[in-house]
Structure 1
Amino acid sequence: MLFSDPDVLAIFTEYDQRHQSERERMQQLPPGAFGELRDEFLLPIGARVGGYLRSLVIAQQPARILELGTSYGYSTLFLADAARENGSKLVSVDVDAAKQDYARNMMQRAGLADHVEFRCGDALDIIAQDQGKWDFVLLDIWKNLYLPCFDAVYPKLAEEGILVSDNMIAPASAREAVRAYRGAVRGKPDLQTMLLPIGSGIEMSIRWTEGNPKL
């Protein structure tokens, strides 16, 4: 079972039912119509990736978690549930206020609202304004923003901090942006990184300095 809390599980079930309904709707769209309608869809990371991230956060016990790309709050649910488990704080960022309002309502109904701080605005501005370090970062926004967001968040990634980026394998339309992002990650000598073929593919990068006495 993904969630032991019945209130959290109920919200996940609601998300899952919405996603299944949207998948059927996508199949009925005429060619080329999705681009104009994409903001109407969840486009979730999926239960396998969500469950993996939840387990990873619980195991790592990060003090501060950053989610770049709230959208409708699907991945937020997994991260917030893990944050509650650890006593961590999750900051979730999105430029779309309506989507964040939807996500905020879902977190309230799940009983997780006290563990999430929603910040609405440009991701680069929000990253720049925050003076703290991030112990865990999920990057899941429009792919043309992956590289600038990485450049902004990398200096603020804590030692042993983890950066997870979604959609590294699919969709194919994002391949050019993904290649540029993965190249930048691999250019940092203090990042250990690997591609995991789960969901749409995630890149998991860990900040590790050789000789770190903690490791």
Structure 2
Amino acid sequence: MIFDDPKITALFEEYQARNAQERSLFNTMMSGTGTVSRDDLLLPVGPEVGAFLHALVLAHRPRRILELGTSYGYSTVFLADAARKVGAKVITMELADYKQAYAREKLAAAGLVDVVEFRQGEAVAMIEADEDPFDLVLLDIWKEVYLPCFEAFYPKLSEEAIIAADNMIDPASARDSVRLYRAAVKAKPDLQTVLLPIGQGIELTVKWSAGNGKL
């Protein structure tokens, strides 16, 4: 386990237990036979992607991390634990107030809330209102707003900033939106990008230009 704090480990195990309990509900939702909605479910990035994000923060040492899609706080735990270790701040944005309230409560119990700034509302408007650069972005929001979110935060990326976009392979229902996002990324001459087959597919993108003397 990557967490060295027992409170954070306990929270991670709680999230894993909730996800296991909700798998049958997810299956009924996907089949169209259940009454549960996707907003009711955890729908986490999973431990493999979580560990990857944690390692990414430790290696890159960003100052400001933007998480688009707090949801119930699963990925926020990985980002916040790593952020605390490198002296970073996580700005997490979510439309649903009840989801973010749940995440705030869980992270507070785990002792991580001091490195997280919770912002609730419409993502594009909140991104546009932020005047400071972002050094790392996790894009894991509803897929139809990937492109408008990208267009909002792209001008605010710091040099050598990293974007990690989830759900680039699955679910199949999101692929039209994903293709629009990937095409927009590839059209930027200062972005280098690669698709990683971990979890449901992570598109890892780095802002880099020939003038900075680094790869």
Query: TM-score band, normalised by the shorter chain?
Result: over 0.9
Aligned partner of 2:44: which letter?
Answer: P
Q: Which residue matches 1:172?
A: 172
User: Secondary structure of the equivalent of 1:211?
Assistant: helix
Task: Please tell me whether residue 42 in structure 1 is matched to residue 48 in structure 2.
Answer: no
Aligned partner of 1:202: which letter?
Answer: I
Distance of 1:30 and 1:189 partners within structure 2: 38
1:2 to partner: Cα distance: 2.3
Q: Which residue matches 1:132?
A: 132
1:26 to partner: Cα distance: 2.6
Q: CA RMSD in A?
A: 1.4
Distance of 2:84 and 2:117 partners within structure 1: 13
CA contact (8 A) 2:29 2:35 kept: no
Distance of 1:22 and 1:182 partners within structure 2: 30
Distance of 1:135 and 1:29 partners within structure 2: 36
The 1:35–1:49 alpha-carbon spacing in structure 2 relative to 1, beyond 3 Å, is farther
Q: Which residue matches 1:206?
A: 206
Q: Deviations over 1:60-81 (max 9, x none)?
A: 0000000000000000000000
Q: 1:149-160 maps to which residues of 2 (within 5 A)?
A: 149-160=149-160
Q: Which residue matches 2:194?
A: 194
1:4 to partner: Cα distance: 1.2
User: Secondary structure of the equivalent of 1:90?
Assistant: strand
4+ residue runs over 6 A deviation = none
The 1:6–1:138 alpha-carbon spacing in structure 2 relative to 1, beyond 3 Å, is same
1:31 to partner: Cα distance: 2.8
Q: Deviations over 1:136-181 (max 9, x none)?
A: 0000000000000000110101100001100000000001111111
TM-score (normalised: structure 1): 0.96
Q: Deviations over 1:6-50 (max 9, x none)?
A: 110000000000000001333355832468611000000000000
TM-score (normalised: structure 2): 0.96
1:199 to partner: Cα distance: 0.1
The 1:76–1:210 alpha-carbon spacing in structure 2 relative to 1, beyond 3 Å, is same
Q: Which residue matches 1:3?
A: 3
> What 5-or-longer segments of structure 2 have no aligned partner?
none
1:214 to partner: Cα distance: 5.1
Identical counterparts, % of pairs: 55
Distance of 2:126 and 2:110 partners within structure 1: 26
